[in-house]
Structure 1
Amino acid sequence: MVSLRALHAFSLLARLGRASLAADRLGVSPSALSHLMRKLEDELGAQLILRDGRGLILTEEGQRLALGLGDAFDRVEEAVDTFRRRGRTELRISTVSTFATRWLIPRLPEFQKIQPDVEILLSASTRMVDLEREHYDCAIRLGTGNWQGLDSVLLWQEHLAVAVAPALLAEHAAGGPSVLSRLPLIHSAGRRGDWPLWLSSAGLDHEDAASGMVLESRDLAIQAAIAGMGAIAVDKRFLTKEVNAGHLLLPDWPVVELETGYWFVRSPARPLSRPVGAFRDWLQSTT
C-alpha cells in the first residue's frame, strides 16, 4: 500500500511549490521530505519530481497525481480539526508579528472580557496565509486592501512618525528635525524605505538615509531606539506604552501618511461565525 504520509508530503509540495515550506508544514526536515518523495516514487514506479539547482519541480506524472489528489488531504485535516474542536469555540487569527506584539496582544484581554468563552489561537508570520484553504478564521494584514476574493475592513491607515530616546535627543537639542542629520538612524530589515520616505516627505536632506543599524523586525528596532542607539521612523500606535513610560519621545515633527494600512480580512466563502463577527466589531471599535 502506498504510504499516506508520503502522499501527504507530495500534496503539500505540489500546493506550496517549495520544499522548505512543505517540510515545515509537515514538521520534517527538507532532507526527510526528499526521502519521502523518493519512497513515493519507488512505490508508484514513476518519477514525480525533477531535482535540479532550482529546487524540486513536478514532472508531467507528478502533475497528473497532484491533480488527482486535489484537496483531499485538506478536507481530511479540516474534518479532523472540526472533530477536535467539538464543544469549543475557537478563533484562529493570522497576523504580522509587529501588529501582534506591539498592538493586538496588549489589548486582547479587553476582547476576552466581552467574549470569555472564545479560545484564541494567534499566529504571527510574514507569510500571507490562504484563508480559503488554511485553518484560519480571519487575518489582519498590512497592505492596500486589494486582496481578491476576500472581505476586507480597514482598521487604520499607516503613518510614519519619528521617535527618539530622551537622552539622545537632549544631546542634540537644537535644530528641530534637521538634528536627524547628526543622529544614527535605525531601520528594520523589511522596511528599509521608511526613513528615505519620511525624510523626503519632510523636505529634509540626509547624507545617507539608508545608513545605520538594521534590525530584523520593527519590534527589535523599537528596543534599539529605547536603548538610545538612534532614531526610528514608525507608526505611533506601536509606541503607546514606551511614550507613556517616558522611554521614547515623539517630537512635534511631521507625520507622514502612507498608502498602506492594517486590514481585517476574512473569506466570504466561510460563514461569519459569532467569534469572527465579534472580533471584527471589537477591532473597529478599538482602533
Structure 2
Amino acid sequence: MASLRALHAFALLARHGRASQAAELLGVSPSALSHLMRKLESELGATLVLRDGRGLSLTEEGQRLALGIGDAFERIDEAVDSFKRRGRTELRISTVSTFATRWLIPRLPKFQALQPDVEILLSTSTRVVDLERENFDCAIRLGKGHWPSVEGELLWQEHLAVALSPGLLDPATPLTQETLSGLRLLHSAARRNDWPSWLAHVGLIHPETVSGTLVETRDLAIQAAIAGMGAIVIDRRFVAAEVAAGHLVLPDWPAQDLDTGYWFVRSPLRPQSRPVSAFKAWLLEAAHAE
C-alpha cells in the first residue's frame, strides 16, 4: 500500500502547483517533499512528477492520480477539525460588512460576557447564503424581509441622515439650496443611490448627485467624512460613536426613512440551539434599545 504521507504530499503538490508551498503546508523541506515524491513513484511504479530547473510539475499519470484522489485529504482535514471542535459551543454568523464593523462588533463583548462559553465565528458577505445547506447558524441581512424559506425578525428600519466633519458646517445651519451646494458629496460604491434618494426626499439638487468622490465601502466613506473630504448620508446608528466623540456632526436636517431594514434570519428547518436563541434575544434587545 502506498504511503499516506507521500500521497498527502502529492495531493498538496497537485492542488497548489508549487513544491515550496506544498512542502510548507506539509511541514517539511522542499528536498524532503522531493524524497516523498520519489518514494511514492517507487511504490506505484510510475513517474508522477517532472523535475527541471523550475521545480516540479505533474506528468499525465500524475494528473490521473490527482483526479482520482480529488479532495479526499481536504475532507479528512475537515472531519478531524470538526471532531476537535466537538466540545466547543459555536455560533456561526453571516452578516454584511457595514453592520459588522459599525454596529455589531463594538457590542459583541457584551454578548460574550453573557455567554462566555460561546465561540463566535463571524463572516461578512453580500451574497445570499443558503442557511439550510451552508455552515451558518444565522445571518443578518439588509432588505425588505419576507424572504422565502427563512424565519426573520426586523432589527430596525433603515434611514438616511446627513453627517459631516464639524469643520465643514455648523450643525445649527438651516438646510437651504445654497448651503447644500457649498458641500462636497461622498459616495460609496455599493450605495450610489443614497444621495439621489435623500435629495429627492428634501426636494433639493446638487451638482454631484451622481458624481463627486467615490469610495468602495460605507466604512471608507465615514472615514473620508471624518477627514473633512465631504458629507455623507448614513444611518445614524453607524456613526453614533463618531458623533459622540465630536469627529462628526449631524445637522438638524430631515432624515429619510427607507423601506429596507436589517433583519435577523435563520432557517426554520434547523434546530434553534441555545447559542442561536441567546444571540437572537440579545440582538433584538440591543437593536430595539436604540
> What pairs with 1:17-96 in structure 2 (closer than 5 Å)?
82-96=82-96
> What pairs with 1:116-265 in structure 2 (closer than 5 Å)?
116-170=116-170, 175-178=174-177, 179-265=179-265
| Residue 271 of structure 2: aligned partner | 271
Whether the 8 Å CA contact 2:131–2:267 is kept in 1: the answer is yes
The CA distance in 1 between the partners of 2:142 and 2:267, in whole Å, is 16
The CA distance in 1 between the partners of 2:218 and 2:260, in whole Å, is 16
**1:181 CA displacement:** 1.3
Whether the 8 Å CA contact 1:160–1:256 is kept in 2: the answer is yes
| Residue 22 of structure 1: aligned partner | none
**1:242 CA displacement:** 0.3
Q: Kindly tell me: are residues 239 and 101 of structure 1, through their superposed partners in 2, closer, same or farther at Cα, counting changes over 3 Å?
A: same
Secondary structure at 2:223 match in 1: helix
Q: Kindly tell me: are residues 110 and 277 of structure 1, through their superposed partners in 2, closer, same or farther at Cα, counting changes over 3 Å?
A: same
Which segments of 5 or more consecutive residues in structure 1 lack a partner in the other structure?
10-34, 46-71
**Which moved further from structure 2: 173-182 or 146-155?**
173-182
Q: Kindly tell me: are residues 215 and 39 of structure 1, through their superposed partners in 2, closer, same or farther at Cα, counting changes over 3 Å?
A: farther
Q: Kindly tell me: are residues 174 and 139 of structure 1, through their superposed partners in 2, closer, same or farther at Cα, counting changes over 3 Å?
A: closer
> What pairs with 1:9-24 in structure 2 (closer than 5 Å)?
none
The CA distance in 2 between the partners of 1:125 and 1:44, in whole Å, is 32
| Residue 4 of structure 2: aligned partner | none
Q: Kindly tell me: are residues 120 and 44 of structure 1, through their superposed partners in 2, closer, same or farther at Cα, counting changes over 3 Å?
A: closer
Between structure 1 and structure 2, the one with the greater Rg is 2
**1:230 CA displacement:** 0.3
Identity %: 64
Whether the 8 Å CA contact 1:177–1:253 is kept in 2: the answer is no
Write out per-residue CA displacement over residues 87-139 of structure 1, whole angstroms, 9 at most, x where no aligned residue: 11011111111000000000001101111111111111222222111111111
TM-score, normalising length: structure 2: 0.71
Q: Kindly tell me: are residues 104 and 269 of structure 1, through their superposed partners in 2, closer, same or farther at Cα, counting changes over 3 Å?
A: same
Where in structure 1 do 4 or more consecutive aligned residues deviate above 3 Å?
38-45, 72-82, 172-175
The CA distance in 2 between the partners of 1:74 and 1:157, in whole Å, is 42
Count of aligned positions: 234
Whether the 8 Å CA contact 2:184–2:208 is kept in 1: the answer is no
The CA distance in 2 between the partners of 1:41 and 1:281, in whole Å, is 52
**2:175 is matched by which residue type in structure 1?**
G
**2:255 is matched by which residue type in structure 1?**
V
Write out per-residue CA displacement over residues 38-89 of structure 1, whole angstroms, 9 at most, x where no aligned residue: 99995799xxxxxxxxxxxxxxxxxxxxxxxxxx999989865642321110
The CA distance in 1 between the partners of 2:143 and 2:100, in whole Å, is 16
Whether the 8 Å CA contact 1:164–1:228 is kept in 2: the answer is yes
Secondary structure at 1:154 match in 2: strand
Q: Kindly tell me: are residues 145 and 76 of structure 1, through their superposed partners in 2, closer, same or farther at Cα, counting changes over 3 Å?
A: farther
